[in-house]
Amino acid sequence: MKMKQVILTVLALWGIGILTIVVSQEQHLASGKEVLLKTVPVDPRDLFKGDYVTLSYDINAIDLRKITVDKPSFKEGDLVFVTLDTTDSTHIAKPIKFSHTAPKGDLLFIQGKVNYSTEIMHITYEDIERYYVPEGTGGVIEQARGKSVLVKVALNSEGKPLIKQVLIDGKPFSPSIPRTN
């Protein structure tokens, strides 16, 4: 194989890899069902990816006594599906059912992993617990603790979530407004 062909092969492989990831994420965001989740933010920094806000959701801790559960036994690392209800006036998602398998039908549900379980089930939701923000603007979200901080999430057919937007007092988060030092 000539050098040019080798170089083009490498470029094609890089391109395919990047496109596969990007297109699947974009498709997820575009076609996923939207849901609003209530959150409490904190603000650290990653060496490679910069400032981010750690988002902790109301649905991270679910009282099993208050909702329907398909099977009572859960262990750490188990994949779980939380069926959500958004019919109340605020449209904020609330858990109504907890199951080991994905609910059938047109129900709204989110996929998570069991962190640890007592009477209160602690669940982690990968891909929505960090929100990367421009340098120095994480404080905007963190300072909004007293206010209503909501996250608009896109859920795909498997219930996997991806962040679409962060809303502070109903308005989309914008890094160009007040910056922290």
Residues 6-45 that bind other proteins (CB under 8 A): 6-7, 10-11, 13-15, 17-18, 21-22, 25-26, 29
DSSP letter assigned to residue 102: P
Site for other proteins in 43-82 (CB under 8 A): 46-52
- Applying CB under 8 A, among 116, 126, 172, 178 the residue interacting with other proteins is 126
CB of 10 to other proteins, least distance (A): 5
Can you tell me the distance from the alpha carbon of 119 to that of 86, in angstroms, rounded to the nearest whole number?
Answer: 24
> Residues 64-84, buried b or exposed e (16+ Cβ, 10 A)?
beeeebeeeebeeeeebbbbb
- Distance separating the N- and C-terminal Cα atoms of the chain: 55
Q: Does residue 171 belong to the site contacting other proteins (CB under 8 A)?
A: no
Phi/psi-derived region of residue 43, left when phi > 0, alpha when psi is between -120 and 50, beta in every other case: beta
The yes or no reply on residue 175 touching other proteins (CB under 8 A) is yes
List the one residue from 59, 108, 128, 149 that touches other proteins (CB under 8 A): 128
Q: Which of 33, 97, 130, 152 binds other proteins (CB under 8 A)?
A: 130
- C-alpha–C-alpha distance, residues 40 and 33, integer Å: 22
Hey, what are 19's tokens? 């496109």
> Cβ of residue 38: shortest distance to other proteins, in angstroms?
17
The residue ranges that bind other proteins (CB under 8 A) are: 3-4, 6-7, 10-11, 13-15, 17-18, 21-22, 25-26, 29, 46-52, 126-135, 162-163, 175-176
